[in-house]
A and B are shown apart, each in its own frame.
Chain A
Amino acid sequence: MSALEVKNVTFSYDDQSTVLQNVNITLNKGELVSLLGVSGGGKTTLFNVIAGLYKPQQGQVLLNGEDITGQTGKVSYMLQKDMLLPYRTVEDNVALPLILRGAKKKEARKTVGEYFAQFGIDGTQKKYPAELSGGMRQRAALLRTYMFSGSVALLDEPFSALDTLTKSEMHRWYLDVMDNIKLSTLFITHDIDEAILLSDRIYLLGGGSIAGEIVIAEPKPRRKDFNLTEEFLHYKRQIVSKIQ
């Protein structure tokens, strides 16, 4: 059984032109699958449907086989902006999903505290988000996302607001951390390189429907110089040709 399945989802805002047309996506356990497409192609809308914020006119969202269409609080969601609350310390931000579920503040802090080192943000617990660099904030946001998720995370362009150097550092970090964590992840990006580097599979989303699927066969953990190899370029050519 797949971790997440999107079945024949069709969605439009208030009878306007259709934003999502019969979209089918599967995400297997432990996989990282990217949705690649131009801005305005319906990627974020699809995430909002999966997260339960929007209810589709047609179709279903299944989490581990269970129908969660239109239900919030089932899959975790991370946006391009880190969305850390400026008035909570980093640890209280990260602990928020647990507190929302009814955990005591002290216990929640203790639970999340065990992950700070693994996510490379040890020592930031008592700081406020404004004291952290962009990359560190994204890590904290990712840890919060992880603390929330039972099994599936939706990441909406999590690294796109970072500068190029920080971004590639975050890619390496992400591959390392995710190898240990085994979080099933749906990943939105409009960066082809990022998609190839991180994904097991890539869905090409255009005009509100799936235009193609590409499997990246390169095993994980990936070589440090994978993005400089001929195979990488081969994948890139494949994607570019399909997009055009």
Chain B
Amino acid sequence: MNEKLRSTINKILPPVVALLLVFGLWVYICSSGAVPKFLLPSPADVWNAFCEDWQLMLRHARVTLTETFIGLALGIVTGFLMAVVMDRFSIVKKMIYPLIIISQTIPTVAIAPLLVLWLGYQMLPKIVLIILIVFFPIAISLLEGFASVDKDTVNLMRSMGANRLQIFRYVKVPSALGHFFSSLKISVSYAVVGAVLAEWLGGTEGLGCYMTRVRKAFSYDKMFAVIILISVISLLLIWLTGFLQKRFMPWEKVNKRS
């Protein structure tokens, strides 16, 4: 137990110290008066702004989160289906793999206003943007995971009379789970950022929309508060992904130990 406590402290202490240092620097700069208050609000100002406006922020956060989850879910499904088809038919892979790569070289910032223009100011353009952001890492990582399967294992399964679907279910999918979760961790934070970006460019609800309003009102304290809120939401989602990974891959812990 003591050993465990020590290792936990060893793990947590360095980032906490770093975080406190950054925070301390922030407080110092604000109190020294080197930067005007309206440009860089102090932590206390940010906290007050949050207390003042938290109900409104949470209402907007709910919209952003809804978009994020729907977009994530659809993005994962799209990525999964693409990976399956590309894994099964190599001709499809040869055809669409380059297209997928090219699609990722187009900056999100450039697509977002177009989507808003085409799909309106409601949720749809936000969700589509998140799908576009998410499907790529998911598809590529799953494809890699499917391909990483040991050939002998597949042969053994075949010798046992397993059909393609069974090999997929019992060998390929579980082998790709680790790859999937690593990319999901990246995807969730990208998804939140994507949603905020799309809201920023057009819409009536969501944290991005809230941000544009407080920016126009020069309320930088609220701006900081909402930025921190977005960070916290992203962090929570990443943590949730890690939690799910542990739940769905209980063998990981064992395999790591030995």
Q: Which of A153-207 contact B (CB under 8 A)?
A: none
Please state if A76 and B160 are interface contacts (CB–CB under 8 Å).
yes
Contact A76 B166 (CB under 8 A): no
Minimum Cβ distance to chain B for residue A44 (Å): 11
Residues of chain B with a CB closer than 8 A to A99's CB: 170
A97-B166 Cα distance, complex, nearest whole Å: 11
The digit string for A42-59, where 1 denotes a CB below 8 A from any CB of B, is 000000100111000000
Inter-chain contacts of A79 with B (CB < 8 A)? 152, 156
B174 touches A (CB below 8 Å)? yes
Q: What's the dominant secondary structure at chain A's contact region?
A: loop
Segment touching B, from A30-38, A82-90, A222-230: A82-90
CA distance A75 to B251 in the complex (A): 30
Chain A residues whose CB sits within 8 angstroms of the CB of B156 once the complex forms: 77, 79, 83
**Is B254's CB within 8 Å of the partner chain A?**
yes
Q: What's the Cα separation between A87 and B149 when bound, in Å?
A: 13
A130 CA / B249 CA spacing, docked (Å): 14
CB contacts (< 8 Å) of A87 on chain B: these are 174-175, 177, 249, 251
Distance in angstroms from A121 CB to nearest chain B CB is 16
CB of B161 within 8 A of CB of A131, answer no
In the assembled complex, the Cα of A101 lies from the Cα of B162 at a distance in Å of 8
A148 touches B177 (CB 8 A): no
Cβ of B41 to closest chain A Cβ, rounded Å: 49
- B159/A51 in contact, CB under 8 A: yes
CB of A72 within 8 A of CB of B251, answer no
Q: Whose C-beta in chain A lies nearest to the C-beta of B174?
A: A87
> How far in angstroms is the closest Cβ of chain B from A62?
17
**Partner pick for B159 among A77, A96, A128, CB 8 A cutoff:** A77
- On chain A, which size bracket covers the interface? 20 to 34
A81 interface residue per 8 A CB criterion: yes
Name the CB-closest residue of B to A77. Answer: B159
B150-190: which have CB < 8 Å to A? Answer: 150, 152-153, 155-162, 166, 170-171, 174-175, 177
Among A65-122, those with CB < 8 Å from B are 72-77, 79, 81, 83, 85-88, 96-97, 99-101
For residue B90, CB closer than 8 A to chain A, the reply is: no
The binding surface of chain B is classed by DSSP as: helix
Q: Is the CB of A53 within 8 A of B159?
A: yes
| Chain A residue, CB-CB nearest to B167 | A100
Q: Cβ of A131: which chain B residues have Cβ within 8 Å of it? A: 254, 258
CB distance from B35 to the nearest CB of A (A): 53
- Cβ–Cβ contact A148 & B254, under 8 A: no
- List chain B residues, Cβ under 8 A from A52: 159
**Is B32 on the interface with A (CB-CB < 8 A)?**
no
Q: Is B255 an interface residue (CB 8 A)?
A: yes
B residues 176-228 near A (Cβ < 8 Å) are 177
Contact: A101 with B159, CB < 8 Å?
Answer: no
The 0/1 profile, CB within 8 Å of A marked 1, for residues 228-258 of chain B is: 0000000000000000000001010011011
CA distance A73 to B166 in the complex (A): 13
Closest to B177 in A: A87
CB < 8 Å: which of B160, B174, B177, B258 contacts A100? B160
Tell me the smallest distance from the CB of B238 to a CB of chain A, in Å: 23
Closest to A141 in B: B156
Tell whether, in the assembled complex, residue B251 and residue A53 are in contact, meaning their CB atoms are under 8 Å apart. no
Could you tell me the distance between the alpha carbons of A99 and B167 in the complex, rounded to whole angstroms? Answer: 12
| Contact (A83, B152) CB under 8 Å given A72-B159, A77-B159, A96-B160 | yes
**A residues bordering B, Cβ < 8 Å?**
48, 51-53, 72-77, 79, 81, 83, 85-88, 96-97, 99-101, 127-128, 130-131, 148
B interface residue numbers (CB < 8 A to A)? 150, 152-153, 155-162, 166, 170-171, 174-175, 177, 249, 251, 254-255, 257-258
Instruction: Give 8 new A-B contacts, CB below 8 A, not counting A73-B162, A128-B251.
Output: A73-B161, A74-B161, A75-B159, A87-B174, A100-B157, A100-B162, A100-B170, A101-B161
